[in-house]
């Protein structure tokens, strides 16, 4: 699993029929900064993921990719490569809280 910030959403009117009714989110991965483990740095890629938990823009989420994404509830038969599986409340690194949703 990976951490990412929801930076937007994708609307696709023409898509695989199995994806109808599924919300697609645009994610920017977040990595713990090697030089300063007390903060995140942005990943370089952007990912489109199926939202399985009702996440929204600006939230920090956990997502999984590949065959693991299809293990999320209701996604097994869908053609997905990334799925949001949780909304993050807090992140602690080396005993220091680096993210808190409040």
Residue 17, domain extent:
2-100
Percent of the chain with pLDDT over 70: 100
Picking from 88, 89, 52, 94, the residue whose alpha carbon sits closest to that of residue 69 is 52
CATH number at residue 89: 2.40.50.220
Q: Please give the pLDDT value at position 72.
A: 82
Residue with tokens 């939230």: 59
Count of structural domains, the chain: 1
> Taking a C-beta distance cutoff of 8 angstroms, is the pair 88, 57 a contact?
no
Q: Please give the pLDDT value at position 76.
A: 84
Picking from 87, 71, 90, the residue whose alpha carbon sits closest to that of residue 6 is 87
Q: What is the pTM of this model?
A: 0.91
> Taking a C-beta distance cutoff of 8 angstroms, is the pair 36, 92 a contact?
no
Quick one: CA torsion of 21, 56, 4, 43, rounded to 10 degrees? 100
Q: Please give the pLDDT value at position 43.
A: 93
> Taking a C-beta distance cutoff of 8 angstroms, is the pair 61, 30 a contact?
no
């Amino acid at each position: 699993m990976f951490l990412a910030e929801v930076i937007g959403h994708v609307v696709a009117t023409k898509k695989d029929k199995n994806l109808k009714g599924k919300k697609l989110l645009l994610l920017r991965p977040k990595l713990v900064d090697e030089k300063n483990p007390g903060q995140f740095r942005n990943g370089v890629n952007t990912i489109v993921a199926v939202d399985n938990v009702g996440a929204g823009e600006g939230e920090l989420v956990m997502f999984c990719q590949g065959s693991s994404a299809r293990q999320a509830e209701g996604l097994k038969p869908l053609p997905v490569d990334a799925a949001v599986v949780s909304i993050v409340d807090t992140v602690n690194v080396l005993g220091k809280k680096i993210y808190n949703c409040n």
